[in-house]
Amino acid sequence: IRRIAISTGGGDAPGLNAVIHAVVKAAHQRRWECFGIREGFNGILRPDRYPQDGIIPLSTQMVEQISHLGGTILGTTNHGNPLHYPTTMPDGSVQECDRTPDIHRALREHQIDALICIGGDGTLTIANALHEQGLRVIGVPKTIDNDLDKTFTTFGFDTAVAFATECVDRLHSTASAHQRIMVVEVMGRYAGWIALHSGLASHAHAILLPEIPYDNTKLSDFLIAREQAGHHYSIVLAAEGATTIQGQREVQQAASAGYVERLGGIGEQLAHKLQASTGKEARAVVLGHLLRGGSPTAFDRVSALRFGAAAVRALEQDMSGVMVALAFPNVNYVPLAEVAGRMKAVPADSDTLQTARDLGICLGD
């Protein structure tokens, strides 16, 4: 190997820059040159945005002081899947095309021997396709949602949980002062990892997860019972993908009809409902993209550095088509084909879930 490239795709997560730092440093140790593709694969597929070159050399100096920074110095996008890339045809119409041949061509032109793709489910699916087409590719898992299979955790998750916890810690006093119900909505897509972990850490009174459809009446009765027992405020932590049993049916119907719903909005809706059903004042707080920002925690920085270095070691050992994963105490490698398109939900037998039940936290079921 002489030259490798890195690409960061999908929603950003704190720790991306630490992976880039580790890849560039570890490559430098082996006297390999390192390049970065700008904005997912748009650095290749959107020459209009990168007229000079969307594949840029990455020196060790450039990555020296970036590990503690949120975001990604390369930029990212969740609208640039090269397998279904919106492309303007000669007749002016826009069609989704497979643009992976353009990626292979650009990498050949830059004499790049291998690619490290850092991303979530979508990016790792693309990485697997590129590997199957003959490119040497290593995947690095990234998502604040922690919903990627085959890895114990992903960098970004710990930072998101730490920040959500700090926010809820702060909400206790204002909720208590006003004797209100506060509904806090957190990200997580169709998995409840962020809600469960931050809800436990911050002593939320109810935690709603996509994995456990909740019952409005049971939740409301629980909050009324708290009031009657002399607890005059409550915090409900709701994952953005949490639904009622009825809501879950609607989502499934929408999905089977090909309609992909954008998540979010549960906070406001639920606060409104709970105010009516409990007679208590309720407010919603949506933490949203705040969970993706800021500096990665030390745990996430170390995980990201380990992932980056392990990706370089994998290339050195002639691997391709694998994802670096965290399997305590060390990292290991799993085939990308086993990860792509699979979601890791909170399992029903999780002891973390059982801990919430043992502590008397309402899960709405």
- Residue 287 and residue 295 in contact, taking contact as beta carbons nearer than 8 Å: no
| Region from 91-99, 183-191, 221-229, 330-338 binding ligand F6P, contact rule CB under 6 A | 183-191
Q: Least distance (Å) from ligand F6P to the CB of residue 186?
A: 8
List 139, 188, 199, 296, residue binding ligand F6P (CB under 6 A)? 188
Q: Which is nearer to ligand F6P, 43 or 141 (CB)?
A: 141
Q: Which stretch binds ligand F6P (CB under 6 A): 98-106, 184-192, 209-217, 250-258?
A: 184-192
Cβ-closest residue to ligand F6P?
Answer: 187
d(CA 137, CA 324): 11
Q: Which of residues 50-109 bind ligand F6P (CB under 6 A)?
A: 78
Q: Which of 23, 90, 77 is nearest to 45 (CA)?
A: 77
- Smallest CA-to-CA distance from 80 within 122, 138, 48 is with 122
Site for ligand F6P contains 248 (CB under 6 A): no
221 is known as an active-site residue: no
Q: Which two tokens stand for residue 75?
A: 């930029």
Instruction: Give min distance, CB of 241 to ligand F6P, in A.
Output: 8
Which string of b and e fits 305-333 if b means at least 16 CB within 10 Å? bbbbbbbbbbbeeebbbbbbbbeeeebeb
Radius of gyration, CA atoms only, the chain:
22
Nearest distance, CB of residue 152 and ligand F6P, angstroms = 18
Smallest distance from ligand F6P to CB 11, Å: 4
State how far the Cα of 82 lies from the Cα of 11, in Å rounded to an integer.
16
Per-residue contact track with ligand F6P, 142 to 161, x per CB under 6 A?
-xxx----------------
Task: Tell me whether residue 149 or residue 240 sits nearer to ligand F6P (CB atom).
Answer: 240
Span of 62-70, 140-148, 164-172, 312-320 interacting with ligand F6P by CB under 6 A:
140-148
Residue 77 or residue 216: which is nearer to ligand F6P going by CB? 77
How far apart CA 125 and CA 325 sit, in angstroms, is 15
Q: Which stretch binds ligand F6P (CB under 6 A): 185-193, 304-312, 333-341, 348-356?
A: 185-193
Catalytic site residues?
A: 145
Binding site for ligand F6P (CB under 6 A): 11, 78, 120, 143-145, 187-189, 240, 263, 292
